[in-house]
């Protein structure tokens, strides 16, 4: 593949050609090669984690709980209630891992982006390349976990097939925002704040029990969190509890993607091309 190096003064000027050179594929191929060489165990473990949660909570604890009533009034088995939530959590975790810790190491220790941006690759190529890699990983998780759900009889509607593109949208949103946030991080201590935010989202975003158990002010706070929108979107698709409000969840992640990609591109340009 033939590439053309963009002159330094043009790159610093912030032209479209300086930001995007059409080399997203090179960034993705490099990430896939690195995963194949050393990080494949991390990828595999990311698939089994939600499966273990499903078996322990859905089938173990679920045998004592029974059914859960959805917002539509329909009652579903507890395992079918938490399975789509765990799928959404898996998409979040995979995307956040790739767009935060991986990016942080490449940015501050591996100095990978310095080398990339010294070639014909632009900041938008890097941002999109890292995000596309996170999407590929999220897609593998989604297909694998959806297969497990199908075998266990936890997909209650034909619309469950739409959960796969929904998971990709969710992963895209988290990866975009995660990479944008990471571009401002300078120490490992600051990176710990990411886990500090993710854990409460995992526990309280209607993952294991309905939002109605909380007081109304807490409900509104949780509804502002991205994982709640992810859980509600995937759960609606796998249970067949469709409603117009699901478009709000789609719009939420579309906004996350737009803001995340814009901030990431701007930050990479400021850090490496200024």
Across the range 16-31, mean pLDDT stands at 76
Across the range 121-134, mean pLDDT stands at 83
The closest alpha carbon to 211, from 103, 92, 71, belongs to 71
Structure tokens at 170: 């969710």
The closest alpha carbon to 70, from 190, 187, 157, belongs to 157
Which tens digit of pLDDT belongs to each residue from 162-208? 999 999 999 999 988 888 888 888 887 878 888 888 888 999 999 99
Model pLDDT, residue 43: 63
Taking the C-alpha atoms of residue 181 and residue 158, their distance in angstroms, rounded to an integer, is 37
Which tens digit of pLDDT belongs to each residue from 265-274? 888 778 766 6
Model pLDDT, residue 34: 72
Which tens digit of pLDDT belongs to each residue from 113-125? 777 877 778 888 8
Q: Is the pTM of this model over 0.85?
A: no
Structure tokens at 129: 């390349």
Query: CA triplet 213, 215, 221: central angle to 5 degrees?
Result: 105
């Amino acid at each position: 593949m033939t590439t053309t190096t963009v002159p330094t003064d043009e790159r610093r000027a912030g032209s479209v050609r300086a930001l995007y050179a059409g080399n997203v594929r090179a960034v993705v191929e490099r990430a896939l090669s690195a995963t194949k060489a050393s990080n494949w165990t991390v990828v595999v473990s990311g698939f089994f984690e939600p499966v273990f949660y499903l078996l322990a909570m859905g089938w173990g604890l679920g045998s004592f709980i029974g059914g859960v009533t959805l917002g539509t009034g329909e009652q579903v088995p507890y395992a079918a209630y938490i399975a789509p939530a765990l799928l959404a959590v898996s998409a979040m975790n995979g995307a956040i891992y790739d767009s935060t810790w991986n990016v942080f190491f490449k940015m501050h220790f591996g100095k990978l982006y310095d080398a990339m941006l010294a070639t014909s690759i632009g900041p938008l190529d890097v941002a999109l390349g890292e995000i596309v890699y996170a999407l590929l990983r999220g897609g593998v998780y989604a297909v694998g976990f959806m297969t497990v759900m199908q075998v266990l009889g936890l997909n209650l509607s034909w619309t469950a097939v739409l959960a796969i593109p929904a998971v990709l949208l969710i992963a895209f949103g988290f990866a975009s925002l995660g990479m944008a946030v990471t571009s401002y991080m300078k120490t490992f201590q600051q990176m710990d704040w990411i886990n500090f935010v993710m854990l409460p989202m995992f526990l309280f975003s209607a993952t294991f029990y309905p939002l109605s158990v909380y007081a109304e002010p807490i409900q509104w706070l949780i509804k502002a969190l991205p994982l709640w929108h992810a859980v509600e979107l995937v759960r609606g698709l796998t249970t067949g509890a469709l409603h117009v409000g699901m478009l709000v969840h789609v719009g939420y992640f579309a906004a996350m993607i737009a803001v995340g990609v814009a901030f990431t591109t701007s930050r990479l340009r400021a850090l490496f091309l200024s």
